[in-house]
Chain A
Amino acid sequence: KNEVEQSPQNLTAQEGEFITINCSYSVGISALHWLQQHPGGGIVSLFMLSSGKKKHGRLIATINIQEKHSSLHITASHPRDSAVYICAVRSGGNEKLTFGTGTRLTIIP
């Protein structure tokens, strides 16, 4: 079993829909990251959080430390949101990231 599990693996939705991507992890963590990878490969950090909730524009990330679960939400989704979204965790005092396998999101106009 991977330390970091994401669901769904693939998600296709219509423009404007509310999107939720889930991440569960099995280890104690110091921080959880949500990353975005567009076709062509560039990775952008969307959020880093260790508790509660963060919001940036149409994106919202939440984390429940007790349940070892995080969600990434996209409101009013747009085709430009189409990308792979990756959850990654830092555990203990380690600097390295352990990654989930990613969720491929496709937003259809």
Chain B
Amino acid sequence: GAGVSQSPSNKVTEKGKDVELRCDPISGHTALYWYRQSLGQGLEFLIYFQGNSAPDKSGLPSDRFSAERTGGSVSTLTIQRTQQEDSAVYLCASSLGGIQYEQYFGPGTRLTVT
């Protein structure tokens, strides 16, 4: 079956522009996660969805970052007024929900802010 997909795979944008990153989870997966991997740094959690609700958005680094999920499926991560420090690989993962289930990762979107 299809895995987690993300689009675009690469995005280059100018500082100050807004960007939208998309995640399509595995069908039937109720939990969806966004993570970020900055150059030279480890992975960090951004936000978690259960269904369309986000019970944990503690990792969003600033109010320029927001995310939504519709229909319990597709999620969009939006970064407003991008800054160079936003350059990173943004990874999405999904799972059946519940701490006993594994998370399946998408290929990521590499964002470069120039």
What is the interface residue range for chain B against chain A? 20 to 34
Task: Tell me the B62-104 residues at the A interface (CB within 8 Å).
Answer: 89, 91, 93, 97, 99-100, 102-104
Residues of chain B within 8 A of A41, CB atoms compared? 37, 89, 107-108, 110
Q: Mark B16-56, 1 if CB is under 8 A from A, else 0.
A: 00000000000000010101010001111100101000011
Q: Taking the nearest CB of chain B, how far is it from the CB of A109, in angstroms? A: 28
Chain B residues at the A interface, C-beta cutoff of 8 Å = 31, 33, 35, 37, 41-45, 48, 50, 55-56, 58-59, 89, 91, 93, 97, 99-100, 102-105, 107-108, 110
Chain A residues at the B interface, C-beta cutoff of 8 Å = 30-31, 33, 35, 41-45, 48, 86, 88, 90, 93-102
